[in-house]
Structure 1
Amino acid sequence: MALSTESVSKPNVHKRIDALATRLRRRQLIGSREVALEVVRLLRDVVAGAKFSSFQQLVDHLEEVGRLLQEAGPKELVVTNMTRRICMLIREEYQTALSNHLDDTDNTGGNGGAGPSSSPNSPSDFASHTAGAAPTPALSRATSSFFPERRESGDILGRTTDGPLGSIFNLLGHSNATEGASRSALSAFGGLGGGGTATPGMGSPASSAAPSPIQSPESSQILQRPNPFANAADRNFASFNDDNAAANTPEEDDFSRRSFSLKPVFIEAIAELMDEVETTYRSVGEQAIEHIHSGEFIMTIGHSKTVEAFLKNAARKRKFTVICAETAPSFSGHKAALAYSSAGIATILIPDSNIFALLPRCSKVLVGPHVILADGALLSIAGSLPLCLAANRMRVPVVAVGGMFKFSPIYWGETADWGMRDLGSPEEVLPSTEECVRASSSLMGAMPPLGSEDDEEGDEAEEQEETEILNPYYDVVPADLVSLYISNLGGHPSSLLYRLLNDMYGSS
């Protein structure tokens, strides 16, 4: 597939892009953490060897590479997660450098100097004076249009002269409530004390009316759910530009053309993201002591390395028992039970049919999802949905454990239903007819000769009765069945996931 921004990367980088796309297409690379690391490494090399004439050209190239990899491996949504996360990180670095540059330009012009200063030629000049940098005009316009209640105050951060409490409430969008509370407090004392001039109407009886209702931004304003009928590829890799914002100034355009020198800053930001992904097991395991207590019975399903690291870290200071379901037909629970028992954890391996009977004795259920969707739904191994439904019936909390790279900004309705479930071989569920005939014949002690009338009748019956067998590898667990999400940043309830996604991927 030819890229429209192919000239940005070198030919050897394009070979690496095609090689990774081939591995994803052939399912030679499986697992969220492994795919995330490969994608981050590739995009880091893309940025390191890129030749671009503007910053937007670099972002467009990264989004196009991410779209190519996602089409090659549609079952690995972590490709979209890492691509959008990297675009968000380098855009933040670019906005910081642009703010510093415009601030230095304004200061130079205001001091009566020789006019606007020329654009810096080194990344150190771009990143200097980070403290107290003024926001860019484009960012100010976008923020003021995003929070209309702050437009009249003149301060993009919503700061007022009402003190720290007023600043906090204005930052949360409760400016009207703060003003009403201040009026009510002052009216109770009959105006301003200390000989100050009273505010008109402050001590009048009319001023004791009830304050205006609290107006807070809805969650849909911070992370809006996209149109499911729109183009999924364009929606998943939507540009971070604000279409409603005005055109860039000549200084911003000149800075964008000179942003080639910011590549070391971009690479450093991507390296920090890679370190975060690599240390996921350790950072998630460090929080196990806060959530697991001695004497608990914990049920798990499947074999998740994140859950394994979480339980092993807790076993250093806690004594508890893990009930592990065998997770047919993959039977990955056998590997999990062996890993837990080898770490000195008391482990009980049970068939899937005993889950409902043993759940009342458990204090919590741990699930290691493949990916966490934007609405909080889990894409987890098959068998997770009946386990979570039974836990909900028994009032047992369900805890999802996963790194931040598994949190996706995509909703379930935007993906192909059965394509995302990663169908496995039907042989794992029901053996073929020939194997069944051979097995039954061996039990009877005699196998019918080939070409006999019995075989011909069996072939005719097989042609007449065709059975379609589906073996999905993943289940979709709704968000209302999950009590808590534990990542390397801490625990998150489902009601605050939209803020977490807004911090990682922006409001696009």
Structure 2
Amino acid sequence: MSSSQTKDINFQIDSFVEKLKRRQINGSYHVALETCQLLMKVVSVAKWNHIDQLIQHIRQLGLRLEKAQPREFSCGNVIRRVLAIIRDEAFENEGNNNELNAPMISSMFSLLSTNDKKSNIQPLINSNTKSNKYHDLKSIIIQSIRDLIDEISSIDEGIEGMSADLIHDNEILLTPTPDSQTVLKFLLKARQKRKFTVLVTENYPNGVEKAHEFIKELSKAKIDTVLIPDSHVFAVMSRVGKVIVGARSVFANGGTVSTAGVASVCECAKEYKTPVFSVAGLYKLSPTYPFDIENLVEIGNSGKVIKFSESQLVHNTGLTNPLFDYISPENIDIYITNIGGFAPSFIYRIVLDNYKTEDVDLS
């Protein structure tokens, strides 16, 4: 690539890394789309003589982005998904080349034949084949990334289509993730065919404002909505028909990371045998395993729990304000994705279909 293109793409990468560090890009959906856009630009201007060079370049970029914000899981998921796309396209391209070479190999045996008939075999590969091959492969990879962007952009449509089949009339639902746009669209779509009631947890102290906005959106769609304190979940669970939760990331073992407080709600639902549905787009499925659960949970500002103005109480109290929870696969009944619903035990198979094992560790 030219020096101007190199400077431009390096500037965009540095800018994206800084945005991740400063959390100027929030939410799995926006991070995934921005990552795809960046990767498409990187692939379009990259110069490489062998596909392994491109793969190594993407892996190094992915490692840098993951270090910038380790808990934005969708960024690493998209990187690994694109690496799988590159490997698949390279493998298919190599297979096509082998098919082209097959007649040439067989023609060598004709040299030993006693048949005097002259063969008019034309050369199948000219001098420009190699450059054309890589140019075509690059175009295919860029188009595949565009298709991935379209898939992520329309991810909610596939999930929304299942809502009417999973929600019944006059049912009481509970959601502890009012910060999830996927859950919101899922419920709004279901309202077109079903009438139901939604209980929304307050999500104190981090998500109170988002919970109020969530309730306003449901009320506009004429959905009966009740805001309840987080401490009231156990009291109302016996009346709840289903628990609908959003997910930040779904791991290969079927576990998931979601909003703080969801783990206790799922434990309560398990006690009452209430089914728990987790809605998540395919880009949130991760090939990694949650070996270090404590490292997955981010700690936020403890000043939201107790104000720093109460210095005497703060000084004598140990405070933690977790932003996320890890939910074990035993507490999730079904994952609702844009390609269908799956049990947690089947997530590993979906992961194998979309990722490569050699790209699980980018280092």
TM (norm. structure 1) is 0.64
Could you say what secondary structure the match of 1:412 adopts?
A: coil
Determine the structure 1 residue equivalent to 2:230: 352
* Match of residue 59, structure 1, among 41, 51, 55: 55
Q: Tell me which residue corresponds to 1:314.
A: 190
Helix, strand or coil at the partner of 2:310: helix
Distance 2:33 2:231 in 1: 37
Is contact 1:119–1:258 with CA below 8 Å preserved after alignment?
Answer: no
Q: Which residue of 1 aligns with 2:347?
A: 497
Match of 1:386 among 264, 279, 291: 264
When Rg is computed on C-alpha atoms for both structures, the one with the higher figure is 1
Q: 1:89 aligns with which of 79, 82, 85?
A: 85
Q: How far is 1:423 from its partner?
A: 1.5
Paired amino acid for 1:276: E
- The CA distance in 1 between the partners of 2:255 and 2:54, in whole Å, is 32
Please tell me whether residue 45 in structure 1 is matched to residue 41 in structure 2. yes
Indicate whether 1:468 and 2:324 are aligned: no
1:338–1:21 Cα change, 3 Å: same
Task: Find the aligned partners of 1:403 and 1:120 in 2 and give their Cα distance.
Answer: 45
Deviation string 1:313-339 (CA, Å, 9 cap, x unpaired) is 111011111111111112132222122
In the alignment, the residues of structure 2 paired with residue 368 and residue 429 of structure 1 have an alpha-carbon distance, to the nearest angstrom, of 23
Residue 79 of structure 2 aligns to a residue in which SS? helix
Contact 1:106 1:116 in 2 (8 A): no
Aligned residue type for 1:298: L
Q: What residue is the counterpart of 2:331 in the other structure?
A: 481
Question: Match for 1:26 among 22, 26, 31?
Answer: 22
Q: Residue 117 of structure 1: CA displacement? A: 3.0
In structure 2, the CA distance between the partners of 1:45 and 1:414, relative to structure 1 (3 Å rule), is farther
Q: Structure 2 CA distance, aligned partners of 1:110 and 1:360?
A: 73
**Structure 2 portions without partners, runs of 5+:** 111-119, 359-363
Q: Is residue 436 from structure 1 mapped to residue 332 from structure 2 by the alignment?
A: no
Give the deviation of 1:367 after TM superposition: 0.5
Query: Within 5 Å, which residues of 2 pair with 1:98-137?
Result: 98-110=94-106, 114=121, 117-118=124-125, 121=128
Partner of 2:158: 283
- For 1:296-323, what per-residue CA distance to the aligned partner results, in whole angstroms no more than 9, with x for missing partners? 1110012210001111111101111111
The answer for the alignment partner of 2:202 in structure 1 is: 326
Contact 1:108 1:115 in 2 (8 A): no
Match of 1:338 in 2: 216
Hey, what does 1:305 align to over in structure 2?
A: 181
* Whole-angstrom distance in 2 between the partners of 1:49 and 1:80: 21
Matched, 1:427 2:277: no
1:116 shift after superposition: 6.9
Please report the RMSD computed on the Cα atoms of aligned residues, expressed in angstroms.
2.4
1:310 maps to amino acid: F
Give the aligned residue type for 1:118: I
Q: Are 2:285 and 1:403 aligned?
A: no
AA at the equivalent of 2:33: L
Corresponding letter in the other structure for 1:279: S
Q: What per-residue deviation string (whole Å, max 9, x for no partner) do you get for residues 337-364 of structure 1?
A: 1221112211111111211111111111
Match of 1:10, SS? helix
Distance in 1 (CA, whole Å) between partners of 2:199 and 2:146 is 38
What is the distance in 2 between the residues matched to 1:499 and 1:52? 33
- Return 5+ residue gaps in structure 1 as ranges: 1-6, 123-254, 438-457
Preserved CA contact (<8 Å) 1:374 1:411: yes
> Once the two structures are aligned, what percentage of the paired residues are identical?
32
Task: Say if 2:168 and 2:194, in contact at 8 Å, map to a contact too.
Answer: yes
Q: Contact (CA 8 Å) 2:175, 2:244: kept in 1 or not?
A: yes
What code does the residue aligned with 2:289 have?
Y
Name the SS for the 2:173 alignment partner.
strand
Any conservation in 2 of the 1:292–1:318 contact (CA below 8 Å)? yes
Residue pairs, 1:253-264, within 5 angstroms: 258-264=133-139
Which residue, out of 284, 291, 294, partners 2:169?
294
1:77 aligned residue (70, 73, 79): 73
SS at match of 1:367: strand
Q: Is the Cα–Cα contact under 8 Å of residues 254 and 348 in structure 2 kept in the other structure? A: no
Q: 1:266 aligns with which of 141, 154, 169?
A: 141
**What residue number does 1:186 align with?**
none
Normalised to the residue count of structure 2, the TM-score between the two structures is 0.88
Counterpart of 2:38 in structure 1: which amino acid?
A: L
Q: After superposition, what is the alpha-carbon deviation per residue over 1:143-200, rounded to whole angstroms, capped at 9, x for unaligned?
A: xxxxxxxxxxxxxxxxxxxxxxxxxxxxxxxxxxxxxxxxxxxxxxxxxxxxxxxxxx
Q: Structure 1 residues 385 and 107, CA, compared in 2 at 3 Å: closer, same or farther?
A: same
Match of 1:15 in 2: 11
Instruction: Report how far residue 120 of structure 1 moved.
Output: 8.4
Indicate the structure whose relative CO is greater, using CA pairs within 8 Å and at least 6 residues apart. 2
| Distance 1:120-1:346 versus aligned 2 partners, 3 A rule | farther
